[in-house]
Structure 1
Amino acid sequence: MELKQKMKAWIVMSRPLNVLSIGLASLTGAIMTHAHINDLKLILLFASPAIIGAAGNIINDYFDAPIDRINKPHRPIPSGIIKEEEARLASIILFIIGTALSLPLGLMPLLIAVLASVLLYSYSYSLKRRGFIGNITIAFLSALCFPFGSLSTGTFSWTIVFPSFYAFSLILGREIVKVVEDLAGDSVAGVRTLAIMLGPRRASLLSILPLMSVIILSPLPFLVKIGSFWYLIIAISGVDVPLAYSILKMLTWKGIDEVAKVRALLKVPIMAGILAFVIGGAG
């Protein structure tokens, strides 16, 4: 097997866009404290959660291999490019490295890194198969990136409540969309997801609630003067508009194939939301 093919498979398994958003969310939490941050600390507070996130993505593929043979046979493990034991070992090494990198950042970031590692492994091992609790776990971990970055500066800013809430709600909605997309494989594996318990149509409608909460509450940082006019512009154009379009698609549900497009589209407001707080932070 060509080395190039295997390297590409490792990159796919780590989910680089997801890893990038995790690191950037941590950086955003740090930036919002307005504390002085040296270059080494910036690198560590980006790299630590990003590497832990990559480890979580790889271990998720390891435990999802039986389901992916039905849902996504092209993935690196089902296709045979990466062996299951290779994936498990790589994830453990990355969990250790990511947690170790949080050590110089202080006790609280270290505890968050340990908690995140344990929850990510537990999610892939068992929580994911318990339905809604798995969705809540991933949403919580996404929100945790912002306090990790804030606490890594040695201080804490209450303003991170806003991006943390938006991240939790947006990711929760996206996770529900994903279980609708994965209905076929989850049914065979006996996973009790919302799509299986409620049916794909009702689960699709349920995903709208957390997404709608982001749209309704997105102007708040501007109204309480922690977000500038630029924040509002980016939040409306980059977050609210894609979310509104996604909600419309879920309301006019035309089948599971359409859901995959919505799940992909929901990556846009994730990155735009981070950008809104980085560029549009007012104080």
Structure 2
Amino acid sequence: MHDTARGIVELARPGNCVAAAVLTGTGAFVAGIDAAVGPTAVAMVVTAVAVAAGNAINDYFDREIDAINRPDRPIPRGAVSPRGALAVSAGWFALAVALAALLPPLSIVIAAVNLVALVTYTTVFKGTPGLGNVLVSYLVGSTFLFGGAAVGRPTAVVVLALLAGLSTFVREVIKDVEDIAGDRKEGLSTLPIAIGERRALWLAAVALGVAVAVSPVPYLTGTFGRIYLVGVAAADAVMLFACYESFDDPATAQRRFKYGTFLATVAFVAGRAVVLV
């Protein structure tokens, strides 16, 4: 029983849920509406619950691949049955939909599109070269848009959504290189399998180069203060090094890349806070 409860929590990937919720909160904060605490909180909870649902259904459909790549996950190790994971995912999806109904119309539209995207990613696009990576990148970038929409200013965070999407694409490609053995055995055609590992990583490097080039824009437009430049420069450096490292050690690079995205989020918040002070 204890392992089952633990397995259900692990299905959600709490760290990912919190990180996604923080991005939504960041989007709302950057949009500049200080008084909209209620909508921001609801949007953050919706994001966290939706990510939990998406992770659970992903584990359901990936259970055979995870038996090779991630045998310690709840379904492969027997903590949660496949049917149980599907039921948990459905419950979380239902909760996310119910909470999203409390938000403005555009937020509801974004939430609806994202919930469909979460399901179709796992069932249709995950094994499609490049398209699965692009879809996940959109989902991460849209967390900023969702936060901005929750407080009525989605256009204020479009650049941040683009930066988040590009950096996520890079991390997803590196992760596909890391998982190539299990994906190939299951007959999936991910980007590294379709075009080769090094070509996929070079494509990721180009995407990261675009993100790094665009990263000063929020400062140049006056959205963020100078401290943002310092923070985003550190984040860019970490992500660039991780991208370089991915050619030799994709597993370590993928984990290091997460630190870079965390630093970027801190830079967004600190940069906006300085402007508001």
TM over 0.5: yes
Asked if structure 2 preserves the Cα contact closer than 8 Å seen for 1:62 and 1:84, the reply is: yes
Question: Which residue does the alignment assign to 2:73?
Answer: 75
CA distance in structure 1 between the aligned counterparts of 2:15 and 2:207, rounded to whole angstroms: 22
Question: Which residue does the alignment assign to 2:161?
Answer: 164
Asked if structure 1 preserves the Cα contact closer than 8 Å seen for 2:18 and 2:48, the reply is: yes
Question: Which residue does the alignment assign to 2:121?
Answer: 123
1:11 deviates by 2.5
Question: Which residues of 2 match residues 1-283 of structure 1 at below 5 A?
Answer: 2-3=1-2, 5-153=3-151, 155-237=152-234, 239-250=235-246, 253-254=247-248, 258-281=249-272, 282=275
CA distance in structure 2 between the aligned counterparts of 1:129 and 1:247, rounded to whole angstroms: 22
Letter in 2 for 1:188: K
CA distance in structure 1 between the aligned counterparts of 2:16 and 2:242, rounded to whole angstroms: 19
Q: 1:39 to 1:220 in 2, by over 3 A?
A: closer
Asked if structure 2 preserves the Cα contact closer than 8 Å seen for 1:28 and 1:149, the reply is: yes
Letter in 2 for 1:52: A
CA RMSD of aligned residues (A): 1.5
Q: 1:37 to 1:6 in 2, by over 3 A?
A: farther
CA distance in structure 1 between the aligned counterparts of 2:261 and 2:9, rounded to whole angstroms: 20
Report % sequence identity.
29
Cα deviation, 1:112-167, whole Å, max 9, x if unaligned, reads 111111110111112102121111100011111111111111x2253312210111
Cα deviation, 1:164-205, whole Å, max 9, x if unaligned, reads 011110001111111111111111111111111112222222
Q: 1:157 to 1:80 in 2, by over 3 A?
A: closer
Asked if structure 1 preserves the Cα contact closer than 8 Å seen for 2:27 and 2:146, the reply is: yes
CA distance in structure 2 between the aligned counterparts of 1:104 and 1:137, rounded to whole angstroms: 26
Q: Tell me the matched-pair count.
A: 274
Asked if structure 2 preserves the Cα contact closer than 8 Å seen for 1:19 and 1:54, the reply is: yes
Q: Say which SS state the counterpart of residue 126 (structure 1) adopts.
A: helix
Letter in 1 for 2:244: L
Q: With structure 2 as the length reference, what TM-score do the two structures score?
A: 0.94
Asked if structure 1 preserves the Cα contact closer than 8 Å seen for 2:25 and 2:41, the reply is: no
CA distance in structure 2 between the aligned counterparts of 1:275 and 1:144, rounded to whole angstroms: 18
CA distance in structure 1 between the aligned counterparts of 2:96 and 2:253, rounded to whole angstroms: 31
Letter in 2 for 1:88: L
Q: With structure 1 as the length reference, what TM-score do the two structures score?
A: 0.92
What residue ranges of structure 2 are gaps of 5+ in the alignment? none
Asked if structure 2 preserves the Cα contact closer than 8 Å seen for 1:58 and 1:88, the reply is: yes
CA distance in structure 2 between the aligned counterparts of 1:62 and 1:157, rounded to whole angstroms: 33
Asked if structure 2 preserves the Cα contact closer than 8 Å seen for 1:215 and 1:243, the reply is: no
Letter in 1 for 2:148: S
CA distance in structure 2 between the aligned counterparts of 1:204 and 1:49, rounded to whole angstroms: 29
1:72 deviates by 1.4
What residue ranges of structure 1 are gaps of 5+ in the alignment? none
Q: Say which SS state the counterpart of residue 37 (structure 1) adopts.
A: coil
